[in-house]
Structure 1
Amino acid sequence: MPALPSSIIEPLWRQFEALIPERPRTHPLGCHKPRISDRIIFDKLIHVLVLGAAYEKISDTTCSATTIRRRRDEWISSGIFRELEQICLESYDRIIGLDLENLVIDGCLVKAPCGGEAAGKSPVDRGKQGAKRSVMTDGKGIPVGCVIAGANRHDSPLLRPTLERLARFGYRLPEQITVHLDAGYDSRKTRELLTELGCGWEISTKGEPLQAGVRWVVERTNAWHNRGFKKLAICTERKVRVIDALISLANSVIVIRRLIGEAWVTHRWDARPNRKP
């Protein structure tokens, strides 16, 4: 059974393949062991991300766990995962339109049993190792930025680096941006930061009953991350650069899925699925 439907995995792979740099021959006579297909490695990475399987468990006669890790690191060094995510966001913005006038930010705690660079004692899991994702979405819940940190970090100090992810959109940012936050950000420092950045805000007040507002979209996005990608729900990677790459790949899948779902009723194309995703 495929980890993702063909309507998502095929366009994702075609764009990913176009970003892979051409590899020169390393042997003048060409008499070396044939290089394993990039498509095989890509499919293995998708299985690792979606199913949360260890590399050793997902390896078989087609490729080893070492080959998967080595090719993954090559692609990370080339910046392919981040570039893929950017292309997906630009495609969504061009066809559907991103709601960047309203940004929603929230933190999400997950388990990190193997520790690593982005792990810390989790305050909600008896001090066990955990990680935190500071996720930023547009007004419809499309992930547009994410910062990874230890579970012992407070949400508020992660606000600035999370908002700095907006630099990827450059001049296309609207003049007026409203940031929607929960009561964990209710502080003078948060308001001073948003004023410095020229943003408006809607922040829930501490000590008062739950004020949902439009914040539910980021909770849904956190659920997409954790329910759809087991590798993000239980983070066993130890290096931040690898976690960032997997988050970018997961975000690319989410954006393509939402793009197909929303364009299904307004557009027609040759590979359009028979049913709405």
Structure 2
Amino acid sequence: MFDCVIAALVHGSGYERVAVPGCSDRTIRRRLQEWAQAGVSKALLRTALAGYDRMLGLELDDLCVDGSITKSPCGGEVSGRSPVDRGKQGTKRSVVTDAGGLPLHLVAAAAGAHDSPLLEPTLAGVPDAVGPLPATACVHLDAGYDSGKTRDLLHLLGYEHRIATKGKPSPIQVGKRWVVERTHSWMNGFGKLRRSTDKQRVTVEFFLFLAAAITVARRLINTARTHYRWDTRPTTRRLR
């Protein structure tokens, strides 16, 4: 059952196409709904982050937040007119990462939602995922967050901040926030995230957190292989 869910996530295929004898598309949908409501993928992400932190250490002194818009042609609870795709239906995901680009928490919203209002719920899930943050944790943001409201929110939450200024070219003031762009690129490697056909928020976020957990596991293996040796240690950086 889980193999079919992974196949749907990676390839973006319909459940009818990944169904196998003994596991119909209806069964996949039913089980997927049960796992989503139980928060299974969120628990997997917490487990993956805990393993990474124990073996290599998370870099929580600097956090990066940004949003990315993808397609959702079937509409749904987290779908809306996309401002970057001729008004077609799209979904936005807001992601917060550590300084190494590991996804810590994610929030799904309609494509037309502005990044700034999504900042608070995105940051709110970080302590649950990784525990207490350093007192000097700094949040790095692009110019889309450049407002007094954002600065007041970060001050209230106890974060330091580095926000790009509107009107200045991005390459000059990228700073440490480029890693979140790379994380979005990693997550766009999953077909289900590039083109979501699920309509319920709980299912969309299930796949978001599952993709994040796999991303962390891949980074753990690729980074740990240069520090540790084990019997099944991969001989290449390209993991499938």
Please state how far the C-alpha of 1:96 moved relative to its aligned partner: 0.9
Separation in 2 of the partners of 1:94 and 1:61? 40
Separation in 1 of the partners of 2:122 and 2:38? 23
Please state how far the C-alpha of 1:154 moved relative to its aligned partner: 0.4
* Identity rate, percent: 50
For residue 115 of structure 1, what is the aligned residue in structure 2? 75
For residue 139 of structure 2, what is the aligned residue in structure 1? 179
Structure 2 residue ranges without an equivalent (≥5): none
* CA deviation string 1:2-22 (max 9, x = no partner): xxxxxxxxxxxxxxxxxxxxx
Q: For residue 275 of structure 1, what is the amino acid of its counterpart?
A: T
Residues 71-86 of structure 1 aligned to structure 2 (within 5 Å)? 71-86=31-46
Separation in 1 of the partners of 2:226 and 2:127? 32
Equivalent of 1:156 in 112, 116, 123 = 116
Please state how far the C-alpha of 1:148 moved relative to its aligned partner: 0.4
SS in 2 for 1:134: strand
Give the length in aligned residue pairs.
236
Q: Tell me whether 122-131 or 133-142 shows the greater mean CA deviation.
A: 122-131
Q: Tell me whether 163-172 or 62-71 shows the greater mean CA deviation.
A: 163-172
Equivalent of 2:30 in 67, 70, 76 = 70
Please state how far the C-alpha of 1:234 moved relative to its aligned partner: 0.8
For residue 105 of structure 1, what is the aligned residue in structure 2? 65
Q: Stretches of 4+ moved more than 4 A in 1?
A: none
For residue 16 of structure 1, what is the aligned residue in structure 2? none
SS in 1 for 2:104: strand
Higher Rg: 1
For residue 225 of structure 1, what is the aligned residue in structure 2? 187
Equivalent of 2:213 in 246, 252, 269 = 252
Separation in 2 of the partners of 1:127 and 1:170? 37
Equivalent of 1:274 in 229, 235, 238 = 235
Separation in 2 of the partners of 1:107 and 1:86? 21
For residue 236 of structure 1, what is the aligned residue in structure 2? 197
Please state how far the C-alpha of 1:170 moved relative to its aligned partner: 6.4
Equivalent of 1:142 in 78, 97, 102 = 102
TM-score (structure 1 length as normaliser): 0.82
Separation in 2 of the partners of 1:89 and 1:170? 7
Q: For residue 150 of structure 2, what is the amino acid of its counterpart?
A: T
Separation in 1 of the partners of 2:98 and 2:127? 14
For residue 158 of structure 2, what is the aligned residue in structure 1? 198
Separation in 2 of the partners of 1:128 and 1:114? 10
Q: For residue 181 of structure 2, what is the amino acid of its counterpart?
A: E
Separation in 1 of the partners of 2:109 and 2:131? 28
Separation in 2 of the partners of 1:258 and 1:219? 16
Please state how far the C-alpha of 1:171 moved relative to its aligned partner: 4.7
Q: For residue 250 of structure 1, what is the amino acid of its counterpart?
A: A
* CA deviation string 1:177-214 (max 9, x = no partner): 10000000000000000111111111110011112111
Q: CA RMSD in A?
A: 1.2
Q: For residue 21 of structure 2, what is the amino acid of its counterpart?
A: T
